Structure 1
Amino acid sequence: MQRVCFLLKVRPDRIEEYRERHAAVWPEMLQALSESGWRNYSLFLREDGLLVGYFETEDLDAARAAMARREVNARWQAEMAPFFEGLDGKAPDEGFVPLQEIFHLD
């Protein structure tokens, strides 16, 4: 199982709305994530907009590819993209770079 952690930056003026959107994630988006192999997925948001994401998957490339094939993911990413800084035109799920894991206590 791969553990994946990533960082993104939510625009300060959109933080409250970002929280609200994630309090009511579309059921079909949740289903797509589960069916695509995203497990134990969490998002953590600091007051200044730093977003830390964490999930587990058998194969990161396969999980990302499976989500890329989902129409609901295209809609969700298009709606979420304006919330972030520094994506350089990429969708949020394409713009995050996984952090290197350097320690894990099992």
Structure 2
Amino acid sequence: MARVCFTVQVDPARLAEYRQRHDPVWPEMLREIEASGRRNYSLFLRDDGLLIGYYETDSDEASAAYLARSEVAARWEASMQEFFVGLDRRADEAATVVPEVFNLKQQLGAL
């Protein structure tokens, strides 16, 4: 299982509107995320606009490929593009992956 953490920058002047767009996310987009194989998906947003995302999946490559082919995901990403700073492509493709350096369960299992 892959555990993926990523960051992207949201325009700090548009945080309230960004939060509103996620409450709720389109039902068809929720189903596409699930169908892509992503689980335990969460987004966290700091007051300075730093967005931190986390999800688990069996294959991040397969999940990303599924969403890249999805018409629903393309519409969602296009509708959200205006909120991100300094991106020249879809946020889900341009996000910076953060390497994992510690995992409690993994280290406890090694004891």
**Same-fold status (TM-score > 0.5):** yes
RMSD of the alignment, in Å? 0.7
Alignment partner, residue 95 of structure 1: 94
Structure 1 unmatched runs, 5+: none
Please, what TM-score do these two structures have when normalized by structure 1? 0.96
Q: How many residues align?
A: 105
Q: Can you give the 5+ residue segments of structure 2 that lack an aligned partner in the other structure?
A: 106-111
Give, in angstroms, the shift of residue 97 of structure 1.
2.2
CA distance in structure 1 between the partners assigned to 2:66 and 2:96 by the alignment: 18
Q: Which runs of 4+ in 1 moved over 6 A?
A: none
AA matched with 1:6: F
Question: TM-score, with normalisation over the residues of structure 2?
Answer: 0.92
CA deviations over 1:23-71 (Å, ceiling 9, x no partner): 1100000000001101000000011111100000011111000011110
Larger radius of gyration: 2
The CA deviation string for residues 58-94 of structure 1, in whole angstroms up to 9 with x for no partner, is 111110000111100000000111101121x110011
* Greater helix proportion: 2
In structure 2, distance between residues paired with 1:97 and 1:51:
10
